[in-house]
Amino acid sequence: MSLGQALNAGLRQAMERDPKVVLMGEDIGKLGGVFRVTEGLQRDFGDRRVIDTPLAESGVVGTAVGLAMRGYRPVCEIQFDGFVYPAFDQIVSQVAKLRHRNEGRVAMPLTIRVPYGGGIGAVEHHSESPEVYFAHTAGLRVVTPSNAADGHRMIQQAVACDDPVVFFEPKRRYWERGEVDEGLATTVAPLHQARVVVEGTDATIAAYGPMVATALEAARIGLQEGTSIEVIDLRSLSPVDFETIEASVRKTGRLVVAHEASVFCGLGAEIAARVSEHCFYHLESPVRRVGGLATPYPPSRLERHYLPDADRMLHEVDRCLQA
Amino acid sequence: MAIAPARVPERGIPEWTGFDGLVQLISVDGQRTVGCPYWELVADVGADQLRDLYTDMVVVRRIDVESMALQRQGELALWAPLLGQEAAQVGSARALRPDDFVFPSYREHGVAYCRGVDPVDMLRLWRGSALSGWDPAVFGLATPAIIVGSQALHATGYALGIMLDGATSAAVAYFGDGASSEGDVAEAFGFAASFTVPVVFVCQNNQWAISEPVRLQSHGTIAQRGQGYGIPAIAVDGNDVLAVLAATRLALARASAGEGPTLIEAVTYRMGPHTTSDDPTRYRSRDEEEEWRVKDPLVRLRALLRAEGLADDGFEDSVTAAADEVAARLRRGCLALPDPPPDALFDHVYAGPHPLIEEERDAYAAYVSTFDS
């Protein structure tokens, strides 16, 4: 099934498992969400568990906070990445901090789903990658699946998690299909565990969300050119599974971090600093980053220049190899 | 005090345009007003209950005065005084039922007192010993919202949960005239009206948001905002404890009857500064302060009690003594509040394991231990 269908199936299982799970968002009911991720859920669970809200993102998240304090487990859908900012205050000042502020006496088991990233030819504010704003905030967990099987498992883990999870969905991968075992236990891996997708020996590309498929393409091309590239799917951006990254770098000696978000102050900066600190004597070259430019997201006719592709990733791998 | 179950009057929210458009049951000079239909909502409030309300207001003011003093003496980092708002807070909070749930701002010390919070615990936040002071579930009271207006949405969501549970309690959001300009309050009005949830919005219009007068927030009244959302609103004299009690009872009864949200604008006055860091002499006149001083909510209720023979010097002395005892205990408790250990920094950031937190906890403990030898 596709990533979108896998998320739908995972949400359905989460709702069947726990009657306190309620979905909230704009157009998620009869329409099933603009990407159809909640399709059929209001029909099957009713409009008291799949709630169409007024058009106000802070309102969606802020009321979810109150629901959580009443004992519910809300799953909020933000329609597009660029629409999450009106909810930013509620997410970083309330959702992230309420447990700590109340010394553990208030639980905040929210999931905030955000379709993100570009590559779909959209208009402005529909292609952004705001994940680092949230990864920077203590109290939040930030994750992103790259494929259908992970999407199915991780959305269930996120909903079951007693911490707030900002769940970024790579919208250009919604329609990509993969094998999903709906009976698979969600405990096969912790939510924050990264995965080595393909093994390699010459360099590592660490990517997440929409960039994992691009990194795999780069690895395939690299192999044809005689370069063995290991690809890591980070899956979790807060916390980051540094163990998996560092183990890979100790093997390959070279690391490229890839994301659609701007390179400046992106997750790659944190990973580069960390790897420099922990793997300095294993590195054959400086850690390199490939990502979005230091510009606002461009009009869609230019987005292929903004977004990293396999060629740009391989260009950075080459620079590591030539160092 | 005993809580009478209010019921929604047959005619819904009574039309009332008397007393400058405000619901008022006790006049400024301490006389019972005549003709206001809200009297029926407090018909059960007799001599004992009136004395209890007065005692609450005196104690709450004494807690406030003592906390101001503690801040001036360097024992609190900050204090946001409620001076002048005792009737608005005690009147509304004494209308609440045990299973109602309150979402306060940072000035609702009187509400917290009425919900049973130990005043010493109120000071933990202001002394910097903790980020909050009590268990919300125990008192039906969230910890103070410092982000202005954010709590209106939390109350609305909590009320949605009450509705989904099929319960008959209500959520109550307290906020001020400044917060009425915040988007979160507007969104809360929209969500609450759309979902018809059992929430009461209590806006204490104390005329000032730090240095900004209420006319800078809006040229209409705050109560008028309700109409645009389809939320019935009651404008009440916020310095009249009985009127506030009556209005809140009506709002709670509407909520429990499934009639949805109510907005209460309690018109009052912040007699002190915004906080201990503020200086009102820079932006408002002595004349204005004097104009409101004669409307002091305690003076008004005392006048009523005296006029009706419900209080004498002995009663007032006993109330003062009780309030002084609360204040003395508050001072002792404040000075005894321990600083939390540095390790507490890392507690409860997450519910589950988090490698970065654990790593920093260990690293910081190791760093601190280097000073031990």
Q: Is the pLDDT of residue B175 over 90?
A: yes
Instruction: Calculate what percentage of chain B has a pLDDT beyond 90.
Output: 92
Pairing of strands A229-233, A203-207: parallel
pLDDT of residue B255: 97
Task: Please judge whether B156 and A66 are an interchain contact, meaning their C-beta atoms are less than 8 angstroms apart.
Answer: yes
Task: Please judge whether A56 and B171 are an interchain contact, meaning their C-beta atoms are less than 8 angstroms apart.
Answer: no
pLDDT of residue B77: 97
Contacts of B103 in chain A (CB under 8 A): 66
Angle between helices B313-336 and B47-72 (to 10 degrees): 40
Distance of CA A126 to the CA centre of its chain: 16
Task: Please judge whether B187 and A62 are an interchain contact, meaning their C-beta atoms are less than 8 angstroms apart.
Answer: yes
The model's confidence at residue A46, banded by pLDDT at 50, 70 and 90, is: very high
Chain B contacts in chain A segment 88-147 (CB below 8 A)? 89-90, 93-94, 97, 99-107, 109, 138-139, 141
A30 at interface of B, judged by CB pairs closer than 8 A: no
Of the candidates A53, A62, A71, which has its C-beta nearest B150's C-beta?
A62
Q: Is the pLDDT of residue A89 over 50?
A: yes
Task: Please judge whether B188 and A139 are an interchain contact, meaning their C-beta atoms are less than 8 angstroms apart.
Answer: no
Q: Is the pLDDT of residue A82 over 90?
A: yes
Of the candidates A48, A65, A97, which has its C-beta nearest B153's C-beta?
A65
The chain A residue lying nearest B156, using CA atoms, is A63
pLDDT of residue B333: 98
pLDDT of residue B3: 46
Q: Is the pLDDT of residue B17 over 90?
A: no
- Neighbour tally for A160: CB within 10 Å: 18
State pLDDT tens for residues B334-355: 999 999 999 999 999 999 999 9
Q: What sign has the CA pseudo-torsion B227, B233, B234, B238?
A: negative
Of the candidates B131, B188, B350, which has its C-beta nearest A163's C-beta?
B350
The chain A residue lying nearest B354, using CA atoms, is A239
Instruction: Calculate what percentage of chain A has a pLDDT beyond 90.
Output: 97
pLDDT of residue B11: 58
Task: Give percent helix, percent strand, percent coil of chain A, each to the nearest 5.
Answer: 40, 20, 40
CA distance to partner chain A, nearest, from residue B19 (Å):
36
Task: Please judge whether B194 and A67 are an interchain contact, meaning their C-beta atoms are less than 8 angstroms apart.
Answer: no
Contacts of B347 in chain A (CB under 8 A): 100, 103-104
The chain A residue lying nearest B161, using CA atoms, is A67
The model's confidence at residue A157, banded by pLDDT at 50, 70 and 90, is: very high
Contacts of B101 in chain A (CB under 8 A): 69-70
CATH 3.40.640.10 fits A3-188, yes or no: no
The chain B residue lying nearest A72, using CA atoms, is B161
Task: Please judge whether B153 and A86 are an interchain contact, meaning their C-beta atoms are less than 8 angstroms apart.
Answer: no
CA–CA separation, A275 and B322 (whole Å) = 63
Chain B contacts in chain A segment 177-216 (CB below 8 A)? 192
A299 at interface of B, judged by CB pairs closer than 8 A: no
Task: Please judge whether A69 and B142 are an interchain contact, meaning their C-beta atoms are less than 8 angstroms apart.
Answer: yes
Average pLDDT over residues A288-298: 97
The model's confidence at residue B10, banded by pLDDT at 50, 70 and 90, is: low
Residue listed under structure tokens 């345009």? B17
* Average predicted confidence (pLDDT) for chain A: 97
State pLDDT tens for residues B240-252: 999 999 999 999 9
Distance of CA B217 to the CA centre of its chain: 20
Average pLDDT over residues B318-325: 98
Paired tokens of B161: 């949960």
The model's confidence at residue B2, banded by pLDDT at 50, 70 and 90, is: very low
Instruction: Calculate what percentage of chain A has a pLDDT beyond 70.
Output: 100
Distance of CA A237 to the CA centre of its chain: 7
Contacts of A239 in chain B (CB under 8 A): 354-356
CA distance to partner chain A, nearest, from residue B353 (Å):
10
The chain A residue lying nearest B141, using CA atoms, is A69
* Average predicted confidence (pLDDT) for chain B: 95
Average pLDDT over residues A204-208: 98
Q: Provide CB contacts within 8 A for B239, sequence distance 6+.
A: B84, B87, B88, B267, B268, B269, B295, B296, B297, B300
The model's confidence at residue B1, banded by pLDDT at 50, 70 and 90, is: very low
Of the candidates B132, B137, B183, which has its C-beta nearest A101's C-beta?
B132
pLDDT of residue B9: 61
CA–CA separation, A271 and A257 (whole Å) = 8
Residue A310: name the closest of A293, A292, A290, A294 by CA.
A290
Task: Please judge whether A105 and B162 are an interchain contact, meaning their C-beta atoms are less than 8 angstroms apart.
Answer: no
The model's confidence at residue B168, banded by pLDDT at 50, 70 and 90, is: very high
Mutation target among B134, B147, B158, B347 for the A interface, most CBs of A within 10 A: B158
* B→A interface, C-beta within 8 Å: 101, 103, 130-132, 135-137, 142-143, 147, 150, 152-162, 164-165, 171, 183-184, 187-188, 190-191, 194, 347-352, 354-356
Of the candidates A54, A104, A109, which has its C-beta nearest B191's C-beta?
A54
Q: Is the pLDDT of residue B320 over 70?
A: yes
pLDDT of residue B41: 95
CA distance to partner chain A, nearest, from residue B164 (Å):
7
Residue A231: name the closest of A310, A168, A307 by CA.
A310
pLDDT of residue A140: 98
Residue B341, phi then psi, degrees to nearest 5? -70, 150
State pLDDT tens for residues A212-251: 999 999 999 999 999 999 999 999 999 999 999 999 999 9
CA distance to partner chain B, nearest, from residue A193 (Å):
11
pLDDT of residue A281: 98
State pLDDT tens for residues A253-267: 999 999 999 999 999
Of the candidates B136, B152, B158, which has its C-beta nearest A102's C-beta?
B136
Paired tokens of A183: 């009976």
A298 at interface of B, judged by CB pairs closer than 8 A: no
State pLDDT tens for residues B60-118: 999 999 999 999 999 999 999 999 999 999 999 999 999 999 999 999 999 999 999 99
CATH 1.10.150.170 fits A195-322, yes or no: no
Contacts of B155 in chain A (CB under 8 A): 66
The model's confidence at residue B13, banded by pLDDT at 50, 70 and 90, is: confident
Q: Is the pLDDT of residue A317 over 50?
A: yes
Average pLDDT over residues A191-196: 96
Average pLDDT over residues A68-79: 98
Task: Please judge whether A94 and B132 are an interchain contact, meaning their C-beta atoms are less than 8 angstroms apart.
Answer: no
In chain A, CATH 3.40.50.970 covers 3-188
The residues spanned by each domain of chain B are: 18-340
The chain B residue lying nearest A108, using CA atoms, is B351
**What fold is seen in the domain B18-340?**
Rossmann fold (3.40.50)
pLDDT of residue B294: 95
Output DSSP code: residue A93. Answer: I
Task: Please judge whether A59 and B158 are an interchain contact, meaning their C-beta atoms are less than 8 angstroms apart.
Answer: no
DSSP states along A102-147: TTT-S----EEEEEE---S---TTSS---HHHHHTSTT-EEE---S
Paired tokens of A64: 């979810």
Output DSSP code: residue A92. Answer: I
